[in-house]
Structure 1
């Protein structure tokens, strides 16, 4: 949990006003039409799958919390390592799976359940439903027995002149060649073998 003031609850994955990244970064087309790149790209700009990620500074606790804006690097770390999205410690895990707290959209999900929200621990789940306005409107607590990495959520680009052009915001699987044209902002998991729980 990030905090700069006593008593202030700021989720681990939230962004602070002292952290910056460009909403429309300057991107170029890779040689041979092989996707997008930063003109000054460094090794840390891509993950081990070769996906290009939003650049963001890491200064948690600096400035004011921006609850609705998820920090791409902390979200990715929490999803990959199955850390609680609120406190950043390991999420609640049993022999039946890992715990997720999701907003209730009112749409039943019988098949795939793609999520960008990292998992959660029990104590943070109880806290979140009381302090988060979006969750107070409705939430679903799910234990997932399977949760493979699916792909990324971000902005898809197309070739353009002089620079690539942003087209749409989408979730793309790692198996789709269009991922080379996607600037990732969040890691996506597919929750399966789900059990709905009650806090």
Structure 2
């Protein structure tokens, strides 16, 4: 099984020329309304040819990642993520050494998961095999984007750095987004043993 958000070899970036706009933001020379999200941020345009060619596990397809995050879809199968009274289920790499309250308040570009896909994700993702935690979050507001920040240049905007940008950051007007970020709050850790028991594993 190949994860829903994985990019395929036929899904390369489209040749879109970036330009300076009068309001000092960046845009495409032949921009469409669909090139921006509801916050007005420009998104990387990538061919949509799901399951054509070979899966490229190191790449995430921007549109499918954004769709999964907006609609709270499972990143593995693309169906609805698991949810109960404790919140929506996420499977995260274990970064509990990063700060005392982890994962409370974490910014994530990883979409949630459904219960049935947890064993698949653990098996397919090398990063998760090094340590994973299942967590339910009661609050998960969309907070911003991950992408490349473009500076002014003589011929056309030029990428200067990559990172995470909040929607209320003025710099986001010069970002070419490739992933949607949710801030995850109100966490309840779910032991993987408990999940395995529920799945009969």
1:74 aligns to 2:43 (yes or no): no
1:194 aligns to 2:187 (yes or no): yes
Q: What's the counterpart of residue 134 of structure 1?
A: 127
Distance 1:131 1:14 in 2: 12
Change (3 A) 1:191 1:30: same
- RMSD, matched Cα: 1.5
Q: Deviations over 1:14-64 (max 9, x none)?
A: 000011105x9531111142x100111111111121110000111111000
Q: Deviations over 1:173-198 (max 9, x none)?
A: 11111110000000000000111111
**How many residues are matched?**
189
2:176 aligned to which of 179, 183, 187? 183
1:26 aligned to which of 13, 17, 22? 17
- How far does residue 138 in structure 1 lie from its aligned partner after superposition? 1.1
1:114 aligned to which of 94, 98, 107? 107
Tell which deviates more after alignment, 102-111 or 65-74: 102-111
1:104 aligns to 2:104 (yes or no): no
TM-score using structure 1 length: 0.90
Gaps of 5+ in 2: 193-201
Change (3 A) 1:136 1:145: same
1:15 aligns to 2:7 (yes or no): yes
Q: Name the SS of the counterpart of 2:165 in structure 1.
A: strand
Distance 2:49 2:82 in 1: 26
Gaps of 5+ in 1: 1-8
Tell which deviates more after alignment, 166-175 or 183-192: 166-175
